[in-house]
Structure 1
């Protein structure tokens, strides 16, 4: 097994706790599914949010999905003028047999604009 970093992002429509949790779960589930991972494979997850998201921590949604034993951290993105608003990003570190070029980075909804080269 090798440790790999997996990137992903999703936009939310509004800064409301339940909506943030729903979209965070959507992103985490897609990354897990696309990379054939279980929570036992995950070493850690770093979440970031744009400064306009303050309703809750995305990590709270991951804990609801069974990530309670996985180290999770949340941080705020830099407030760059003109940047895409209402974005949750993550970097997941996981143990996998996949080669680096077979890792699937997941960009959903409006976040596709961030990395069109990686979005499916």
Structure 2
């Protein structure tokens, strides 16, 4: 079965180091909480809010051992009024036997407000 694992984080400024550091931390946490093996990853989509353009967040994934062949694409998020700014969203598509409701979606920093329903279900 192919499943999507969702994650999101924020940064405080449009600064390359923050974007790379926070994206890497988020993806590593998504992998850890869902016991994901790199060979089971089909691809990763990363979107950023409009004010983030200092670097490609995908750059951070190349720092993770074994991820050199994982297809990653970055894009800009839809500019919805009053949406969360300085936000990086990740959709990791994986092959797994885990049921949909057992996937642990991960939200860091201010992105926790995006899906309080999932945060509550996960006990965070």
Structure 2: give runs of 5+ residues left out of the alignment.
none
1:46 is aligned to 2:48: no
**Is this contact kept in 2: 1:107–1:118, CA < 8 A?**
no
Write out per-residue CA displacement over residues 43-74 of structure 1, whole angstroms, 9 at most, x where no aligned residue.
Answer: 10000000010010111101111322011000
Coordinate RMSD, CA, aligned: 0.9
Equivalent-residue separation in structure 1 for 2:99 and 2:83 (angstroms): 32
TM-score normalised to structure 1 length: 0.95
**Is this contact kept in 2: 1:4–1:100, CA < 8 A?**
yes
Structure 1: give runs of 5+ residues left out of the alignment.
none
Equivalent-residue separation in structure 1 for 2:5 and 2:40 (angstroms): 12
Work out the number of aligned pairs and report it. 119
Task: Specify the alignment match of 1:65 in structure 2.
Answer: 64
Task: Specify the alignment match of 2:17 in structure 1.
Answer: 18
Task: Specify the alignment match of 1:81 in structure 2.
Answer: 81
Equivalent-residue separation in structure 2 for 1:76 and 1:106 (angstroms): 20
TM-score normalised to structure 2 length: 0.92
Consecutive aligned runs of 4 or more in structure 1 exceeding 2 Å deviation: none
